[in-house]
Structure 1
Amino acid sequence: MVHVTVWNENRHENKNPVVREIYPKGIHGAIASFLKEEQVEVTTATLDDPEHGLTDDVLSKTDVLIWWGHLAHDEVADEVVEKVKKRVLEGMGLIVLHSGHFSKIFKTLMGTSCDLKWREADDKERLWVVDPSHPIVDGIGEYIELEREEMYGEHFDIPAPDQLILMSWFEGGEVFRSGCTYQRGNGKIFYFRPGHETYPTYHNKEIQHVIKNAVQWAKPVNRSYPVYGNAKPLEEISPKNEA
């Protein structure tokens, strides 16, 4: 069984009654709830938990880590970021949602600023499937339409994705690379754009479906971590005659 840890900053829910009404159990609780429908083992962790809830024991058991953050990226301890990075390189999957594009872990793995344009104006968003063969969009039609969302616009300062799966159009005219995959070491990474805290985006069944698919795509493959450094020969090396 795949073990998923849903990590959420959990600050908006405690500060903003609008967010608390939409997500009474937190964004992490909402995501955990629909993932449990898929017979996956789910735990949650938040910023204010000891070690941000990402202890060595938790990370060692996590197959896929889902990350949502916004207000307090700088409060995430660097040592925790390094531990998460190490686990991704070893094979743990990472799904970064919405404003997690500015998280320390995503910026570290991307090596760029991950900056973008944004606007909160109740834009309609249409997420177009541009790679219909990809398993992350299995069961999704030509597009997903969200009546209201925060706009993210290009240029999005990320490395060219290994695979671009979803491209957003917004009512105000902007476009955005909204579903991007990467591989870092043994680990798979999926960035998925929608999910502003004051909109009920994670209650949308198609958005849920994409995240469920992404968990199965990002889970580790069954192989050992590669051995690096000085290596003994596999076969005997015959002595070479000196000239």
Structure 2
Amino acid sequence: MRERMNVTVWNEFYEERTYPSVSSVYPDGLHVVLGQALAEHLSPEAHVRVALQEEPEHGLTQAVLDGTDVLLWWGHLKHDEVSDEVVERVRRRVLDGMGLLILHSAIESKVARALLGTSCKIASWRHDDSELLWTILPGHDIVRGVPNPVVIPKGEMYGEPMDIPEPDELVFISSYEGGEVLRSGCAWQRGKGRIFFLASGHEESPIYFQPEIRRVLANAVQWATPPAQPQPKVTRKGEWPRNWWAEA
């Protein structure tokens, strides 16, 4: 892990202030709980900041994104209100190396569609389902310290087919009490950037308080963090570095 990671948690922050069923679970906003989950596992190596959709430029100015190693994206009901300019800004930063975590319903966001190149539509969903999150890629960095399966007592069923490109790595699949299954932990490389989609999560369920899911999020941030850039070698004026032909 690099010396310091700069993580930005982006949140629509609409439902928490609109619907009692959501505010009763996340009264201060999903972004607060997500930030706490990362701080719990990654402090002091990680600096976590928050950006909200209501802020100018949705809180994602070029300067903010340039200073972000990994961006977590939560959105649900306001996808279409996200500026195309900001979407393109995020897309370029991922291609340049910034990591991206797409959380739950954010799979249908404009950012996800722009980077994955499909509609990202999910065939079916149902509230208040129990879920088993199964590891199918043992040894992957994202599953480090995570039990198999993770039992989620109450969440939201997302059912296949899901219109996403074939994952480069399929880390998790989920099974639900109704018999449905989902590719629920998918990893892709886009340009220099790593993307991870975690379907498990619902604004009306305390999933992001579960220790196992908090561990998955922290692991995914570490996995998606771009490697530190090597420092340029400094030589005295007029002096070639040793083995310069091998080091160039």
- TM-score > 0.5, shorter chain as reference: yes
Task: Give me the CA root mean square deviation.
Answer: 1.0
1:36 and 2:31 correspond: no
TM-score scaled by structure 2?
0.88
Q: Is this contact kept in 2: 1:118–1:150, CA < 8 A? A: no
Which consecutive unaligned segments of at least 5 residues does structure 2 have?
231-248
The CA deviation at 1:223 is 4.2
The CA deviation at 1:73 is 0.2
Q: Name the CA distance, whole Å, in 2 between partners of 1:137 and 1:25.
A: 28
Which consecutive unaligned segments of at least 5 residues does structure 1 have?
225-243
Q: Is this contact kept in 2: 1:7–1:66, CA < 8 A? A: yes
Q: Is this contact kept in 1: 2:124–2:160, CA < 8 A? A: no
2:96 to 86, 90, 93: 90
2:131 to 125, 128, 153: 125
Q: Name the CA distance, whole Å, in 2 between partners of 1:4 and 1:116.
A: 28
Alignment of 1:45-124 (within 5 A): 45-124=51-130
1:192 aligns with: 198
1:237 aligns with: none
Q: Is this contact kept in 2: 1:97–1:192, CA < 8 A? A: yes
Q: How many residues align?
A: 224
TM-score scaled by structure 1?
0.90
Amino acid of the residue matched to residue 184 of structure 1? R
The CA deviation at 1:120 is 2.6
Q: Name the CA distance, whole Å, in 2 between partners of 1:141 and 1:32.
A: 22
Amino acid of the residue matched to residue 122 of structure 2? L
2:21 aligns with: 18
Q: Name the CA distance, whole Å, in 1 between partners of 2:169 and 2:34.
A: 24
Amino acid of the residue matched to residue 121 of structure 2? D
Q: Is this contact kept in 1: 2:6–2:69, CA < 8 A? A: yes
Amino acid of the residue matched to residue 75 of structure 2? G
Amino acid of the residue matched to residue 110 of structure 1? L
Question: Any idea what SS the aligned residue of 2:186 has?
Answer: strand
Alignment of 1:223-238 (within 5 A): 223=229
The share of aligned pairs that are identical, in percent, is 50
1:82-107 deviation per Cα after TM superposition (whole angstroms, max 9, x unaligned): 00001000000000000001100101
Moved over 3 A (4+): none
